Amino acid sequence: MTHADPVRLYRTVRLIRRFEERAIDLVRAGEIVGGIHPYLGQEGIAAGVCAALRDEDLVTGTHRGHGHVLAKGADPARMLAELCGRVTGLNRGRGGSMHAADFGVGVLGANAIVGAAGAILTGAVWARRRRGDDVVGATFFGDGAVNEGMLLEAFNLAALWRVPVLFVCENNGYATTMPVAGAVAGSIAGRAAAFGMPAAAVDGQDPEAVRDVTAAAVARMRAGGGPELVEAHTYRFDAHHTFEHQVRLDYRPPEEVAAGRARDPVDIQGARLPAPVRAEVDAAVEAELAAAVDFALAGPHPDPATALDHLYASGRTARTGGG
320: contact with another protein by CB under 8 A: yes
Q: With beta carbons less than 8 A apart as the criterion, state whether 90 and 78 touch.
A: yes
User: Least separation, in Å, of the C-beta of 203 and ligand TPP?
Assistant: 17
**Environment class of 249 (CB within 10 Å of its CB; exposed 0-12, middle 13-18, buried 19+):** exposed
Q: Are strands 228-233 and 199-203 parallel, antiparallel or unpaired?
A: parallel
Tell which residue, 177, 163, 170, 229, has the closest CA to residue 203: 170
Q: With beta carbons less than 8 A apart as the criterion, state whether 235 and 173 touch.
A: yes
- Which residues ranging from 142 to 171 are in contact with Mg ion (CB under 5 A)? 142-143
Q: Which residues contact 196 (CB under 8 A, 6 or more apart)?
A: 159
Q: Which residues contact 291 (CB under 8 A, 6 or more apart)?
A: 77
Nearer to Mg ion, 175 or 217 (CB): 175
Contact footprint for ligand TPP (CB under 6 A): 63-64, 112-115, 142-145, 170, 172, 174-176, 240
Q: Which does 34 bind (CB under 5 to 8 A by kind): ligand TPP, Mg ion, another protein, none?
A: another protein
147: contact with another protein by CB under 8 A: yes
- DSSP H stretches of helix in 188-274: 188-194, 207-222, 254-262, 265-270
Distance, C-alpha 199 to centroid of its chain: 20
User: Least separation, in Å, of the C-beta of 90 and another protein?
Assistant: 11
- Which residues ranging from 253 to 272 are in contact with another protein (CB under 8 A)? none
Q: Which does 85 bind (CB under 5 to 8 A by kind): Mg ion, ligand TPP, another protein, none?
A: another protein
Which segments of 102-233 are extended strands (E)? Answer: 137-142, 165-171, 174-175, 178-179, 199-203, 228-233
- Which residues ranging from 288 to 317 are in contact with another protein (CB under 8 A)? 301-308, 311-312
- Which residues ranging from 162 to 181 are in contact with another protein (CB under 8 A)? 175-178
User: Least separation, in Å, of the C-beta of 147 and another protein?
Assistant: 4
Nearer to ligand TPP, 226 or 265 (CB): 265
Nearer to another protein, 6 or 173 (CB): 173
Q: Which does 204 bind (CB under 5 to 8 A by kind): ligand TPP, Mg ion, another protein, none?
A: none
Nearer to Mg ion, 45 or 51 (CB): 45
Q: At what angle do helices 6-28 and 43-51 cross, to 10 degrees?
A: 140
Q: Which residues contact 305 (CB under 8 A, 6 or more apart)?
A: none
User: Least separation, in Å, of the C-beta of 317 and another protein?
Assistant: 9
Q: CA 211 → CA 10, 14, 124, 168, 172, distances in Å?
A: 12, 16, 23, 12, 18
User: Least separation, in Å, of the C-beta of 115 and ligand TPP?
Assistant: 6
Q: Which does 64 bind (CB under 5 to 8 A by kind): ligand TPP, Mg ion, another protein, none?
A: ligand TPP
Q: CA neighbours within 13 Å on the CB side: how many for 14?
A: 25
Q: Which residues bind Mg ion (CB under 5 A)?
A: 142-143, 172, 175
Q: Which residues bind another protein (CB under 8 A)?
A: 32-35, 82, 85-86, 91, 93-99, 111-115, 144-145, 147-149, 175-178, 182-184, 247, 249-251, 301-308, 311-312, 318-323
